[in-house]
C-alpha cells in the first residue's frame, strides 16, 4: 500500500497513531473532515518513504511536531486550515525535497524560519497566521515559477527592492503591517 486517502468523509476523532507506522506508505491524505487531536512527535519514525502528508481542513491542534524533519523524502506538507499553534520550527528548513509547504490559516506565531528554498519548491503558503518579523533572505531565491502566500501576518520586508523581486514570483503579501527600508 502506498496511498492512504480518506477525504471529505466527515471523519471525527483523532487520527489513529498506528497509521504512522506503515513503513511502505508514501502518501497520507485525511483532508476535509473534522479530525481533531494532535500529531505525534514520532510521526515520521515509522514512515521512511513518506512523500506527501495532506491533513488540511480539519481541527488538528497543538504544535507542529519537530519530528517532521525525519521525513526526509517529504515533498508535500499540507497542514492548512487547522488549529496548529506555536512556532514553525526551524528544522523544517532541512526538508530539501519539499515542493509544497502549505501552513496557512492556523495559529502559528513567531518568525518564518530559514528555509532551504530550491527550484523544486513550487508553493510556500503561510497566510493568515500570527507570524511576525522580517522575511527570511532565502525568499529572494524564489523564481517566477514559484508561488508565495504570506498575507494576513505581521511581516516586515527589509528592503523595498525585495518586494519588487518577489512580485515576479506571484507574491501575495497583502494585509501585512510594515514594509521597512533597512
Q: What is the pLDDT of residue 163?
A: 52
Domain architecture of the chain: domains with CATH: 3-179 (3.80.10.10)
Mean pLDDT for 156-166 is: 57
Q: For residue 96, give the C-alpha cell.
A: 530539501
Question: Within 10 A of 53 (CB to CB), how many other CB atoms are there?
Answer: 23
With beta carbons less than 8 A apart as the criterion, state whether 66 and 41 touch.
yes
**What's the confidence (pLDDT) of residue 180?**
46
pLDDT of residue 170: 46
Predicted local confidence at residue 182, as pLDDT: 41
For 159, half-sphere exposure in the C-beta direction (CA atoms, 13 angstrom radius) is 9
Reference 123, options 158, 140, 98; nearest CA is: 98
CB atoms within 10 A of CB 28: 22
Instruction: Give the Cα separation of 103 and 34 in Å (integer).
Output: 17
Distance of alpha carbon 28 from alpha carbon 12, whole angstroms: 17
Give the residue among 148, 158, 153, 156 at the shortest CA–CA distance from 131. 153
| pLDDT digit string, tens, across residues 67-83 | 888 899 999 999 999 99
Please report which confidence band the pLDDT of residue 121 belongs to, taking 50, 70 and 90 as the band edges.
confident
Count the alpha carbons within 13 Å of 50 in the hemisphere toward its beta carbon: 28
Q: Give the pLDDT mean for 123-133.
A: 94
Q: Which of 63, 59, 18 is nearest to 36 (CA)?
A: 59
Lowest mean pLDDT among 12-21, 22-31, 34-43: 12-21
Average pLDDT over residues 158-178: 52
Amino acid at each position: 500500500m502506498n496511498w492512504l486517502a480518506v477525504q471529505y468523509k466527515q471523519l471525527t476523532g483523532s487520527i489513529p497513531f498506528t497509521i504512522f507506522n506503515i513503513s511502505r506508505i508514501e502518501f497520507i491524505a485525511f483532508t476535509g473532515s473534522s479530525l481533531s487531536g494532535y500529531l505525534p512527535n514520532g510521526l515520521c519514525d515509522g514512515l521512511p518513504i513518506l512523500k506527501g502528508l495532506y491533513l488540511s481542513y480539519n481541527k488538528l491542534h497543538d504544535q507542529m511536531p519537530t519530528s517532521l524533519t525525519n521525513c526526509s523524502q517529504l515533498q508535500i506538507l499540507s497542514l492548512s486550515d487547522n488549529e496548529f499553534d506555536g512556532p514553525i520550527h526551524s528544522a523544517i528548513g532541512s526538508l530539501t525535497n519539499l515542493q509544497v509547504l502549505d501552513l496557512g490559516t492556523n495559529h502559528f506565531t513567531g518568525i518564518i524560519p530559514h528555509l532551504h528554498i530550491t527550484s523544486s519548491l513550487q508553493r510556500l503558503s503561510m497566510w493568515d497566521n500570527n507570524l511576525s518579523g522580517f522575511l527570511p533572505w532565502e525568499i529572494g531565491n524564489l523564481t517566477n515559477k514559484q508561488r508565495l502566500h504570506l498575507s494576513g501576518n505581521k511581516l516586515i520586508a527589509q528592503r523595498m527592492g525585495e518586494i519588487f523581486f518577489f512580485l515576479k514570483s506571484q507574491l501575495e503579501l497583502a494585509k501585512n503591517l510594515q514594509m521597512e527600508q533597512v
